[in-house]
Amino acid sequence: MTLRVLVVSNVRVVREGLNSILAQRGGVDVVSTVDVPRAGDRSAQLHPDVILFDAARQDSVEFVKALVASAPHSKVVAFGVKETGEEILALAAAGTAGYVRESAEGSDVVRVLEQVMCDELPCSPRAAASLYRHVAVLSQGGNDPVGVGNGHADTMPLSRRELQIAHLIDCGLTNKQIGRRLGIEAATVKNHVHNLCEKLQVHRRGEAVARIRAISRALLLPASAPDANPTLEAS
């Protein structure tokens, strides 16, 4: 199966370089290279498997949030990442499926893309530990030192119920179906979804799920990991 990739960067030489590198690899088809302003439209036209975007931009996190929301059919992978705890957490919370370090070689890029398509993510032990602590804090309802919303310390933590509802949304359940599954009213589910989106500072429930799922995927954890058993949860 050929992996269809869209390369996004405002730097022409970067786009052309990645295109050249990936073109030499079997099983990878660069469907287009594009600058940031046109990325959303090109993605909607081509429906690539992976969008490989340049994270060296100062506003890359804000950009990727919008790109993830507009391209649910694609997995977004950041490249040029310094792999600091703060940057990785911000990119994971924004909904990326993986990242390529700034020191990576051409073969590393292809390997990361292949692993992302298998819902896997190579990362350093330090990065994995940082992500793990982040998810643990969220699941325990404690204060999140990084913040899943915008990277600030004052971001409100998610409750265990909200994390579970996010998982059920990700499974394709409606509010009414989630209510039946958890034994609560649909109106209560709606309130949880509203709070979930507000805390994550997104407008749609799909965007909220994408952020939580990205963190779980990065740790190779199942999306239901926060609390799979409704009887163990507090509303």
- In tens, the pLDDT along 140-151 reads 544 443 344 444
* Topology, domain 128-232: Arc Repressor Mutant, subunit A (1.10.10)
pLDDT of residue 231: 32
The two most distant CA atoms of the chain are separated, in Å, by 56
Inter-CA distances, 114 with 71, 82, 162, Å: 19, 21, 31
3-121 is classed CATH 3.40.50.2300: yes
* Per-residue model confidence as pLDDT tens digits over 72-104: 889 999 998 887 777 877 787 778 888 888 888
pLDDT at 32 over 90: yes
CB neighbours of residue 29 within 10 Å: 13
The answer to whether the beta carbons of residues 62 and 17 sit under 8 Å apart is: no
Q: What is the pLDDT of residue 137?
A: 59
Residue 171 has a pLDDT of: 77
Domain boundaries of the chain, sorted by first residue: 3-121, 128-232
The yes-or-no verdict on residue 181 having pLDDT over 90 is no
pLDDT for the residue numbered 35: 93
- Residue 112: pLDDT band (50, 70, 90) is confident
